[in-house]
Structure 1
C-alpha cells in the first residue's frame, strides 16, 4: 500500500485568486495517487474552499503567522505549492522545510508595462502559470477550467427573486477592489439601459448604495439590487442561474467563469494582459482601446492618476448580447 502524499497549497490574496487555484487542487488530487491536499488561505475565504471535495483539510490565517506556521509544521507535509510567492508565503515555505514549488512572478515585465507601457507580458493565463509550477510533480492541466461548489443551503430559489426576474435575468457584478476597477454609477446606468433586460445587481454591502442609485434611475421592475443581501455562495448561485454575466475585474467574474457562463468583462485601470481574464469560458472584453495611460496598476489604484478616468468614462458599449434575442426585455 502506497504511503499518502501530503501536499499543502498556499493562496491568501483574494476571492478571485482562490477560485483560480481550483484547477491546481483538482488536478493534483486526481493525478497523484494517494495525494492528500491541504489548502491554506484567509479565514474570510472559508466559504469558497470548505465545500471543495478535492480538499482534505483547510488551514486559515487568523492574524498570527507564528500560530499558523506551528499548525502547518505539525502536519509534516511532503510538498508545498505556493501560488502567491510573496514574502509571507516564502517565510512559510522556509519554516516548513519541505520541497516546494512556486508560481513564477513577472515583476520586471509588470513594471515595464505599467511604467513605460511596454507589453512584454507572456500570453498566458495565470491558471496556466499555476499549472506550470506543478509540472515537476507530473501534473498536467486537464483543461476542465475552474471549479466552484455551492452547498445546498446556499442555493437560491427562483421565487426568492422579484416576479419580474423569475423567468430569466442578467447578472451584473458592480463591485471592484477600487474605484478605478468600477464604472461610475452614471455609466452603470447607461450599461443597464444598453443590456435592456431584467438585471440582478451583485456585490457586497459597500456596493449597495450604488445599486440603489441604479434602481432609482431605472426602477425596481428592471433592476433588483441584491448587493449585500446574499452571502458569497448565494451570489454564486445567482451567477449560476443568470443567462449571461457582466462584471468588472473582480472575484465574481471568476466565479461566473467556473459555471461556464458567458462573461462580458469590463476593464478600467487593469488589463486582461496581466493574465486574469475569464478562464475557459466564452467572454467579451469591454475596454477602451488604444488608451496610452493603461494600465496604471497591475491590481488597482485608488483614483485615476491622470484625473480624467477615460478608461471607464470613454469605454464604448458597442456590444450586442445575442443570448438575449427574442427574450422579454424592459417594457
Structure 2
C-alpha cells in the first residue's frame, strides 16, 4: 500500500508539468482511489487472481496494455512481474525505464558491520529519475494536494462534525519490529485525550487490529475506532480532513502525506534514511529509536528481519516526546 501511495505525489507533479502526456496507472483495483483525483490519469486494474495470473497472465496483461497504444513504460515497482511486462514492451521497441531501488546502498545502511549511516535518495526522487530516463523532468519543490473531501453521512454519524483538532493514529505496521508497544501507544492516546480540543481517530484493519483498537479507545470519550466501520474510500476522505496523523513506518503514513496532511512517524527497526519517509515531511517529524542504545539500527529496510535483544528498541521513544511533538505541530 505504501509503495502505491508514494507514487501519487510524483504523478501529481508530472501531470501539472507535462499536461500533454496521458498516464495510465497499472495496479491492483484496490488502489484505484489513490489516483482518482489526479487529472489526466487513467487506471487499469490488474486481475492477479484470474486473467493476469502467472506467466501467461502477464502475457495477457501485456496484450491488454498494448491495445492502449502506450508510447513508454515507467516501471515504478521494479519486481519480477513488472520486469517481465516491461521487457515485452521493450521487445516491440517501446521506451522503458525502471526505478532503481538502490539495494546495495540499502544493504550498506542496514548491515551490522561496516554500516554506512547516511541518508539515501528518497523513493520520490528515485521515481523522478525514472521519468527523466524517459525524457520528462519533474520538480517536486512546490507540491500540490487535493482539497479536503466532503465526508459521507455515514462517516459524520461516527466521528461527528469537525469542532476539534482531529488527530489520526495508525498504530500498526506489516512487521512487529515497526510497531510501537501497545502499552506505550495507550499511554500516548490517554495523554492526548485529556485535551478536549482534540478528537483522536484510530485507523487499522482486520479482525485482530479492530479488537486492539476497541481496547485502546474504550475508556476515552473523544477517542474513536474507525476500523471496519467505513469503506476504504471513506477512510481516505476522512484522512484528508485530519489535522495530523501519527503513524508507524507504514502505508497510512504515506496515504496521509499524499493528501497533504502533517505526519509524525515512529521508527523501530527501520529508519527514514532508507528513503521511505513520507512525502514532504521534515526529518524532525520522524521520531526514531535511540541508536546510542541500539547501535545496529536500522537493522532492516522493511522491518522483516528480527535482531536479538532489539525487540524493545521503540521503547526509547517516550510517549511524552510524541505528545509534545503533536501538540507543537497543532499549535
TM-score tier, shorter chain, comes to: 0.7 to 0.9
2:210 aligned partner? 208
CA contact 2:180–2:314 (8 Å) conserved in 1: yes
How has the CA–CA distance of structure 1 residues 23 and 322 changed in structure 2, closer, same or farther, with 3 Å as cutoff? closer
Change (3 A) 1:57 1:210: closer
Question: Quick one: which of 301, 307, 320 aligns to 2:304?
Answer: 301
1:10 is aligned to none
Q: In 1, distance between residues paired with 2:190 and 2:220?
A: 13
Structure 2 distance, partners of 1:112, 1:142, is: 27
> Does the Cα contact within 8 Å between 2:201 and 2:223 map onto a contact in 1?
yes
RMSD over equivalenced CA pairs, Å: 2.7
Cα shift at 1:247: 0.8
TM-score, normalised by the number of residues in structure 2: 0.82
**Structure 2: 5+ residue runs without aligned partners?**
none
> Equivalents in 2 of 1:253, 1:262: separation in Å?
9
- 1:88-113 deviation per Cα after TM superposition (whole angstroms, max 9, x unaligned): 21111111221112112211121222
Aligned to 2:95: 99
Alpha-carbon contact 2:240-2:261 (below 8 Å) kept: yes
Moved over 6 A (4+): none
Report how many residues are paired.
307
CA contact (8 A) 1:23 1:145 kept: yes
Task: Find the counterpart in structure 1 of residue 76 from structure 2.
Answer: 83
Give the equivalent residue in structure 1 for 2:9: 23
- Which residue of 2 is the match for residue 43 of structure 1? 29
Within 2, Cα distance between the matches of 1:48 and 1:134? 20
Paired residues for 1:119-198 under 5 Å: 119=116, 122-136=119-133, 137-145=135-143, 147=145, 158-161=156-159, 166-196=163-193, 197=195, 198=199
2:8–2:35 CA contact under 8 A, matched in 1:
no
Moved more, 120-129 or 284-293: 120-129
Residue 171 of structure 1 contacts residue 201 of structure 1 at CA under 8 Å; is this kept in 2? yes
Show CA shifts across 1:49-103 (max 9, x none).
2443231342424232233222122223211011122222111111122111211
Q: TM-score when scaled to structure 1?
A: 0.82
Q: Is the 8 A contact 1:72 1:96 kept in 2?
A: no
What does the per-residue CA deviation read over 1:191-240, in whole Å, with 9 as the maximum and x for residues that have no partner?
Answer: 21333443110111242111012124xx1413211122222222222222
Counterpart CA distance in 1 for 2:37 and 2:62 is: 24
Distance 1:265 1:44 in 2: 24
Q: Distance in 2 between matches of 1:249 and 1:146?
A: 23
What does residue range 63-82 of structure 1 map to in structure 2 within 5 Å? Answer: 63=49, 64=53, 65-82=58-75
Give me the whole-angstrom Cα distance separating, in 2, the residues matched to 1:210 and 1:262: 25
Tell me, in whole angstroms, the C-alpha distance in 2 between the residues paired with 1:120 and 1:88.
Answer: 32
Structure 1 pair 154–99 and aligned structure 2 pair: CA distance change class (3 A)? farther
Q: What is the alpha-carbon distance in structure 2 between the residues aligned to residue 242 and residue 56 of structure 1?
A: 27
Q: Which stretch shifts more, 230-239 or 112-121?
A: 112-121
- Mean Cα displacement is larger for which, 239-248 or 118-127? 118-127
Contact 2:105–2:120 (8 Å) recurs in 1: no
Quote the offset at 1:323 in angstroms: 4.4
Whether contact under 8 Å (2:149, 2:241) holds in the other structure is: no
Change (3 A) 1:230 1:311: farther
- Distance, in Å, in 2 between the alignment partners of 1:174 and 1:276 is 17
